[in-house]
C-alpha cells in the first residue's frame, strides 16, 4: 500500500510515520507532501491508497484539498491528522468525505483504530 502524508511540518510527518510503525502499520510506501496543493499533485501522479493530511497548511489547506479531490471525482481514502478535534471540525471533515479525523496529540492505538478499516489488521 502507498500512503501519502501531507503536513507542512517535517517534524509532524516524521511523527506520523513513526506512529504508523508503532501502530503496526509500518512497511508501507510513504509519499510526503508539504501542503494541500502538493498533495493534490502527488495524488494524481503517485495514486496513493490512503491520504493522511493535516488540516491547516500554507498554499492549500487539507479540507480544500479534500473538497477539490471529491469535486474531481476522486474517492481516494482520506483522513485528517490535526490538532483540531472539535465536533464542528469532525462534522465538516465527514461532510467533505473524510473517513476519520485523528486529533493531535494521538496514540498508536488511535492510529490503529482509524486505519485498520483501510489498511487491514496486521501482525
Query: Taking the complex as a whole, how short is the minimal distance between the CB of residue 14 and another protein, in angstroms?
Result: 5
What is the spatial distance between Cα 65 and Cα 83, in angstroms, rounded to a whole number? 17
Contacts of 8 (CB under 8 A, 6+ apart): 34, 35, 54, 57, 58
Minimum distance from residue 46 beta carbon to another protein (Å): 24
Least gap, CB of 18 to another protein (angstroms):
6
Element (H, E) at 29: strand 29-33
Residue 47 or 56 having the CB closest to another protein: 56
Q: Least separation, in Å, of the C-beta of 120 and another protein?
A: 26
Q: Which is nearer to another protein, 105 or 123 (CB)?
A: 105
Nearer to another protein, 47 or 83 (CB): 83
DSSP states along 51-102:
EEE-SS-SSS-HHHHHHHHHHTT----EEEEES---HHHHHHHHHHT-SEEE
**Residue ranges in contact with another protein by CB under 8 A:** 8-12, 14-15, 18, 56-58, 82-86, 88-89, 103-107
Amino acid at each position: 500500500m502507498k500512503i501519502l502524508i501531507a503536513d507542512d511540518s517535517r517534524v509532524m510527518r516524521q511523527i506520523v510515520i513513526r506512529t504508523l510503525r508503532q501502530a503496526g502499520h509500518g512497511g508501507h510506501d510513504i509519499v510526503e507532501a508539504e501542503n494541500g496543493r502538493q498533495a493534490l499533485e502527488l495524488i494524481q501522479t503517485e495514486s496513493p491508497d490512503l491520504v493522511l493530511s493535516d488540516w491547516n497548511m500554507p498554499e492549500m489547506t487539507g479540507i480544500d484539498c479534500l473538497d477539490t479531490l471529491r469535486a474531481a471525482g476522486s474517492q481516494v481514502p482520506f483522513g485528517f491528522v490535526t490538532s483540531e478535534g472539535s465536533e464542528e471540525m469532525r462534522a465538516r471533515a465527514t461532510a467533505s468525505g473524510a473517513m476519520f479525523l485523528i486529533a493531535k496529540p494521538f496514540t498508536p492505538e488511535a492510529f490503529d483504530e482509524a486505519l485498520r478499516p483501510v489498511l487491514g489488521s496486521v501482525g
